[in-house]
Amino acid sequence: MHVDVTQAQGKVKVTVLHVHGDVDAASYQALIAKAREVYRSGARDLLLDFGDTPYMGSSGLVALHTIATIMRGDVPPDPEAGWAAIRSINRAREVGLQEHVKLLNPQPRVSRVLGMAGFDQFFEIYTDWETAIASFG
């Protein structure tokens, strides 16, 4: 997996992470690291483009939760904490939809994983670039 970073301007500046390849146990930490890097660089609104991501495992769900936590300015759980990290995801659902992290173009397998985990209730998911960018701010 690798991640390209671009910027888009809607009502606010949006940082876009274009994820290429699977998000799984071998790659999820790299996705978290990239999100942490753009946050430290000043990004506050993040669109994750999964148009070129054919597969996401449970560790990808941990990455999404961690990224949402980072973008809220909170301290995320240690992703290596196993079940503690998963339980933290369940508690975070009480926060509701994420206003600073949104998803674009998840492939069918990824979309099914998001739905099975209830993440479609946690993240706004878009299939149209312009609509996704315009949704921030």
What is the CATH number for 96? 3.30.750.24
Q: Which residue has the tokens 């992290």?
A: 101
Is 60 exceeded by the pLDDT of residue 98? yes
Q: In the prediction, which pLDDT does 87 show? A: 55
Q: Assess contact for 54 and 106: CB atoms under 8 A.
A: no
Domain that holds residue 120: 2-134
65 vs 126, residue with greater confidence: 126
- Domain total for the chain? 1
Instruction: Note the pLDDT of residue 86.
Output: 55
Q: Which residue has the higher pLDDT, 21 or 91?
A: 21
Lowest mean per-residue pLDDT among 1-5, 85-89, 113-117: 85-89
* Residue with more model confidence, 92 or 62: 62
